[in-house]
Structure 1
Amino acid sequence: MTQSKEIVVEQTGSAIGRPERQRRTLLGLGLTRIGRRRTLQDTPAVRGMIAKVAHLVKIVGEK
């Protein structure tokens, strides 16, 4: 059985005044307010989403 890696992401910036595309990306990551953390599967798609809003989120840990 293969073990999938996980990544913990925290929202550090507000979505207020940001383009709609960035707001939808944050929602896709499950982030709705500053300080909220989500544990997500470490896939290329998730990494791409994080890269699009890198100025609004930070990676706090990897499992």
Structure 2
Amino acid sequence: MPRTFVWHPSKGPKTTPKPLAPTLGQLKITQVRSGIGHPHWMRRTLAAIGLKGHQQSVIQADTPSLRGQIKQVRHLVEVTPVEGSTNG
């Protein structure tokens, strides 16, 4: 009999946050978990977003390509919309 995946109740988050509604502004992306122990493509996605280390934040313009990158590493980052359109 083949082995099957068994979901353990204590593993993983209890709930996942709903994705943000599309905006024309900017997003603040904060890395809340390390890329260590994750596949190389996830670490490269974090670098492409502009995150270099744990607890670093960047402000990026909201684009469909950025949304796709965030979706790839959504368990490693926290995303909040930015009020105002100034960089810095």
- Report the TM-score when normalising by structure 2: 0.64
Q: CA deviation at 1:62?
A: 2.7
Higher relative contact order (CA 8 A, sep 6+): 1
Structure having the larger proportion of residues in strand: 1
- Report the TM-score when normalising by structure 1: 0.87
Structure 2 Cα separation of the partners of residues 19 and 37 of structure 1:
21
Q: Which runs of 4+ in 1 moved over 2 A?
A: 60-63
User: Which of structures 1 and 2 has the bigger CA Rg?
Assistant: 2
Gaps of 5+ in 2: 1-23, 84-88
Work out the percentage of aligned pairs sharing the same amino acid.
35
Residues 12-62 of structure 1: CA deviation (Å, up to 9, x unaligned): 000111101100000000111111000001000001100000000001333
The number of residues matched between the two structures is 60
Of 12, 34, 56, the match for 1:14: 34
CA RMSD of the aligned region, Å?
1.1
Gaps of 5+ in 1: none
Structure having the larger proportion of residues in helix: 1
